[in-house]
Structure 1
Amino acid sequence: MALLGDDLLGLLRSRTDEMMEDLMGLLRVDSFTYSPEGVNEVTSWAERRLVGLGFSTERHPQGDGRFALVARWGKGLNPAVLVLAHSDMAQRVPKGKDPELLGGRLVFPGVSDMKASLVSMVYALEALIREGAMPGELVVVVSPDEEQGSPATRGLIEREALRAKVCLGVEAARPDGSIVLRRKGAAYFELRVYGKSSHSGSQYGSGASAILELSRKIPLIFSLTDETKGLTANVGYVRGGEELGNALAGFAEAKVDLKFWDMEQGVEAVEALKRICSAAEDSRVRIELSGGVAFPPMVETPGSTRLAEAISEAAEGIGIKGLKAVATGGEADVGYASSMGVPCVDGLGPVGGGHHTPEEYLEVGSLPVRTALLARAVALSDELF
């Protein structure tokens, strides 16, 4: 098939400037996951482009004003190739700062997780349509809340997975270029501590510090980590007290996440966290823990292994030598499809790294190459399943 060779790659390389222009436009949008307007702007961009390619689209409103997007190609009569993407990002767009090109890397929050992947997805599908190589049935789901665990989009993904024959995730390729066969699952929690506020000088003894109680819990939460088993526990956000800081804190809160390779391990970690947070050392303090498993793990199956091997072989034809399929600790929406028994391969976006940090980057040279690989992966998915 022509899509294996240089013709497609040459076409996409000739369109690199167009892809970069689209990407730079998306980077200017603050699509932080708690900014519905910006998230909707990015989702709408994907919608316009897919409609322009001939997809039919559906908007699925969510409670806070944002919407998830489903785009369909085909008549819906047969099992589909399911492609998963998201339009939110883990950080805010920094004010007064522009994307920076450093030695072939474009550095900016959200650049590879996953705005470059959205651009790559659109151009890959356009190339398949031009080549007459689109699957008979293909469904794209763009989640607007993936960075929160897709709480409002999960049911939609699972419904589409029920009639999918295979699922491709367009999260960024690993920094070494590898695609992904396994991902950890994750559980997210909010821990709230209610104490009794009092002046820290004249009324010290009459207060009960929520911050003190929270500080007792944090080391216990971190102690759940067992890296030899791939289990990690993290407290990634803490807030409490009053701005002046001259009173015992009446309230404190933290966000906790657990990551695990299988559901049995995850359930055990969740129960251990609940025990830690079941009671306060100070009887005047009350603790509330809310949350649970957000992403199930993405598991390797014979079908996903077969597809990953075929993608690796196809990669040779466009100059990607020795493409590996690996396990990674980050969770993603493909876990939902995987939990429904659908073979999944992820990491099919351009190469990037530093995700969820100000140093997040895209390997610019990978944009046309990995777009060509994504197009081939879509075509292979339809051939093999």
Structure 2
Amino acid sequence: MTTRDKAYEWIDAHKDDMVDLWKQMVTIDSGIGVKEGGMEMGNLCAGILEKLGFSIRRVSYEKCGDTIIGERGDLSKPYTILMGHMDTVFFKGEPEKRPFTIKDGKAYGPGVLDMKGGVCILLSTLEALHAAGFDDFPCKVILVADEEPAHVFSNAPEVIEKESKGAKCAFNFETGFPDHALVVQRKGCWRFFIETFGRGCHVGNDPQNGRSAILEMAHKIIEIENLTDYSKQYNVNVGTIEGGTVANAAPAHCKVECDFRYVHPEDLPILRKKVEEVCAKQYVPDVTTKLYDSVGFAVMPQLPGNLELLKIAQEVAEESGFPVPGPKLCGGGSDAAYTEAAGVPTLCGTGVEGSRNHTVEEWADVDSLFRRAKQMAGILLKLNEK
């Protein structure tokens, strides 16, 4: 029996254990800003890694859980990075409202797809390889606790880039897709705020003295949304809006947060200039406008090495009778951008397959939990042969 067969056999024999770990993770409330849940997830993952012979380092923060860095083997040699995030996009209390459930082969619950299923695959793959007698390859695991809010609570991007120097490749266990594709490229994300400042008044007694910040913003929203150009592979969304006080007063203030997605790094200054031009226009007399950055993700470019990793994944799939993954350009950002900033070829979206992430309809295919763990075990073994 080959090492790969032994690893696959371990996964087949431990499906219930893998689902139990998945459920345990989804049950932990590690939503945005829930530090205690982030710490609990980090402690769970660190404990499993320690049992597999990893030494653990932590980077701690005031408002989120620790970044967990697990290391094993001789890292002076080119090593492999396995990475993911332990938080979910939801807020405190969501696991109680929507506990982990399985129905008709699909798992449901906050973060079941994005990306606690992926973290479960990461750890289970290492357990399977350990049981098969293959655990001496140089490896670094990086797990962060505030990816969903784009690391507003940490310096994780800098940590990831620094920790990636010297690696030969990286795998990010982000959300997988029902078409079985693997992500070789991701759009960047620029988030920004626009605020308008007008003048309030009583609209019954003194309407002509009012200067509506909302009316000014309404014109700008339409222009901002019209900057979407799918032929150039970028799109903008005005995602939140707030302003005004009561219906009978002209609104003196309005604020929106926007999200711009783009493929090429050189697009960002072009898009920024277009937004600045919109903000410089004045539709309502005396209303002023302020533009400033929020948070975002860098572009994950398609490095040549990404396609080489995809080819290995395709070989494993063909040999194992799995669906053969194709390449995917994904609109969502991920921390794969920061391993690539260190020049490390990265394959992303290697986690559990499903859809509707970031919504209450989020689901994940249960069988893909086991298949993707086998596929990753096969990939790591094949990389060791090269």
* C-alpha contact (below 8 Å) 1:43/1:68 kept by paired residues: yes
Equivalent residue pairs, number = 382
**Cα deviations by residue, 1:261-302 (Å, 9 ceiling, x for unpaired):** 111122311221222223543353332222277322222233
Q: Write the letter of the residue equivalent to 1:251.
A: H
Task: Name the SS for the 1:349 alignment partner.
Answer: coil
Stretch of structure 1 that moved more, 130-139 or 230-239:
130-139
How far has the Cα of 1:137 moved from its partner?
1.8
Task: Name the SS for the 2:266 alignment partner.
Answer: helix
Task: Name the SS for the 1:303 alignment partner.
Answer: helix
Task: Name the SS for the 1:365 alignment partner.
Answer: helix
1:299 maps to 2:301: yes
Query: CA 1:65/1:169 → structure 2, altered by over 3 Å: closer, same or farther?
Result: closer
* C-alpha contact (below 8 Å) 1:195/1:286 kept by paired residues: yes
One of 360, 363, 367 as aligned partner of 1:361:
363
Aligned to 1:228: 231
1:211 maps to 2:214: yes
Distance across 2 between alignment mates of 1:189 and 1:347: 26
Unaligned stretches of 5+ in structure 2?
none
* C-alpha contact (below 8 Å) 2:7/2:377 kept by paired residues: no
Aligned to 1:36: 35
Q: Write the letter of the residue equivalent to 2:176.
A: A
Query: CA 1:235/1:37 → structure 2, altered by over 3 Å: closer, same or farther?
Result: farther
Q: Write the letter of the residue equivalent to 1:179.
A: L
* C-alpha contact (below 8 Å) 1:192/1:254 kept by paired residues: yes
How far has the Cα of 1:354 moved from its partner?
0.9
* C-alpha contact (below 8 Å) 1:84/1:141 kept by paired residues: yes
Task: Name the SS for the 2:215 alignment partner.
Answer: helix
Q: Write the letter of the residue equivalent to 1:105.
A: K
Distance across 1 between alignment mates of 2:174 and 2:345: 16
How far has the Cα of 1:63 moved from its partner?
4.3
How far has the Cα of 1:103 moved from its partner?
2.0
Aligned to 1:55: 54
Distance across 1 between alignment mates of 2:33 and 2:202: 34
How far has the Cα of 1:383 moved from its partner?
4.1
1:81 maps to 2:80: yes
1:127 maps to 2:128: yes
Distance across 1 between alignment mates of 2:187 and 2:25: 28
Aligned to 2:202: 199
Task: Name the SS for the 1:47 alignment partner.
Answer: helix
How far has the Cα of 1:185 moved from its partner?
1.4
Q: Write the letter of the residue equivalent to 1:2.
A: T
Distance across 2 between alignment mates of 1:382 and 1:346: 19
Aligned to 1:26: 25
Distance across 2 between alignment mates of 1:121 and 1:24: 15
Distance across 1 between alignment mates of 2:3 and 2:369: 16
Distance across 1 between alignment mates of 2:208 and 2:38: 47
Task: Name the SS for the 1:199 alignment partner.
Answer: coil
Distance across 1 between alignment mates of 2:272 and 2:332: 18
Stretch of structure 1 that moved more, 148-157 or 35-44:
35-44
Alpha-carbon RMSD across the aligned residues, in angstroms, is 2.2
Distance across 1 between alignment mates of 2:39 and 2:283: 44
Q: Write the letter of the residue equivalent to 2:21.
A: D
Q: Write the letter of the residue equivalent to 1:81.
A: T
How far has the Cα of 1:225 moved from its partner?
0.8
Aligned to 1:159: 162
TM-score w.r.t. the length of structure 2 is 0.91
1:58-73 matches, within 5 Å, as 58-73=57-72
Aligned to 2:7: 8
Stretch of structure 1 that moved more, 303-312 or 292-301:
292-301
Percentage of identical aligned residues: 28
Unaligned stretches of 5+ in structure 1?
none
Task: Name the SS for the 1:379 alignment partner.
Answer: helix
How far has the Cα of 1:227 moved from its partner?
0.7
Aligned to 1:238: 241
Distance across 2 between alignment mates of 1:97 and 1:79: 42
Aligned to 2:260: 258
